[in-house]
Amino acid sequence: MEKVIYIESNLHKLIFHIFEGELVQYTMYETLNKISEMVSEDFLRIHQSYLVNLKFITRLDGNQLLLSNGDTLLIARSKLKETRNRVAIYKGDL
């Protein structure tokens, strides 16, 4: 799981965005809630559709995250404060 950049959910279909020397995607049918219970504390739920590995976050800009693979993900308004706090703690900014 340390190579997973983020997991995206779309109608119970999960897309794992993974860096294995190059960017690859794997899919499976499951709920993001179920997966989020199984992953480590290094993962953060930023939106109903996204579970992000904190180590791949390069920048938090307003209500968006920029990831090391170049993807930008929207942070849900209800998750914004928690996301800012967790990113700051993880990156050592607090």
Looking at residue 33, its pLDDT comes to 92
How many CB atoms neighbour CB 47 within 10 A?
20
Dump pLDDT digits (tens) for 42-57: 999 999 999 999 999 9
- What are the residue boundaries of the structural domains of the chain, listed by start? 4-91
Rounded to two decimals, the pTM is 0.92
State the burial class of residue 10 (Cβ atoms within 10 Å of its Cβ: 0-12, 13-18, 19+).
exposed
CATH superfamily entry for domain 4-91: LytTr DNA-binding domain (2.40.50.1020)
Q: Which residues of the chain have pLDDT under 50?
A: none
Q: What pLDDT is stored for residue 45 in this prediction?
A: 96
